[in-house]
Amino acid sequence: MKEEDEDLIGLWKSSDQSEKKMEATVSHFGESYFQKQGKDIFQRIRRNMVVELWASAVAAIGFPFIFKDDPFFWWLTGLMVIAVIVTLRIYGSYFRSIRQIHEGSIIESLTKKKDVLGKYIRRMHLTNYIIVPLSVGVGYFRADTDIVLFSEHFYIALAICAVTSAVFIILIRIYIQALYGKYYEQVTEMLNRLE
């Protein structure tokens, strides 16, 4: 019976000590660090998204003209316009989420930061896995037009594309981890300490 009473008292005290946990966690990591880092990281994400939007708009305008003499020029142009519209809609939701990050309590704010940062990191990884192999393949096969399907030269070209893509994917993963991963882990750890 005594253990049950201690458990109830401990539960009651722990519910009353969330503010002390928050203060201890913030003092452990340093409040100024998280305020500065939070602003910096989301300003960096916002800046990266603006650059990516401009780059995708330029790519949508310029990329189809590489194939201007091909019969599928207009199909490719339409596809690029659709890709830019989808990108604008996705990034619009990120911009709205970033704007609302500092609303609510500290736990709600940290949860929003973790969600936005997690979604952004996952999107960067997904883009990395799709765009890198496609761009390497298109670049290689566009430059070398005398490749016959299922020939020895084709398999060598495919192997070169696979190795090149793997190297770029690994380097981009390291870049993403260095840029955003550490902060994401710190926000997750801080949120776990507060809960």
Mean pLDDT of 91-95: 83
pLDDT tens for 27-65 read 655 555 455 545 577 888 888 888 888 887 887 788 778
Task: Annotate 122-172 with DSSP letters as a single string.
Answer: HHHHHHHHHHHHHHHHHHHHHH-TTPPTTSHHHHHHHHHHHHHHHHHHHHH
% of the chain residues with pLDDT over 90? 1
Q: Compute the distance between CA of residue 75 and CA of residue 157 in angstroms, rounded to an integer.
A: 27
When comparing pLDDT for 38 and 125, which is higher?
A: 125
Q: 8 falls in which pLDDT band (50, 70, 90)?
A: very low
Q: What is the pLDDT of residue 145?
A: 58
pLDDT score of 155 more than 60:
yes
Q: 89 falls in which pLDDT band (50, 70, 90)?
A: confident
Q: What is the pLDDT of residue 11?
A: 47
* Lowest mean per-residue pLDDT among 16-25, 76-85, 146-155: 16-25
Rounded to the nearest integer, the mean pLDDT of the chain is 75
Q: Compute the distance between CA of residue 144 and CA of residue 179 in angstroms, rounded to an integer.
A: 36
Q: Compute the distance between CA of residue 70 and CA of residue 117 in angstroms, rounded to an integer.
A: 41
Q: 170 falls in which pLDDT band (50, 70, 90)?
A: very high
Mean pLDDT of 114-136: 84
Domain residue limits, the chain: 30-99, 105-195
Stated pTM of the model:
0.60
Q: What is the pLDDT of residue 99?
A: 82
When comparing pLDDT for 15 and 187, which is higher?
A: 187
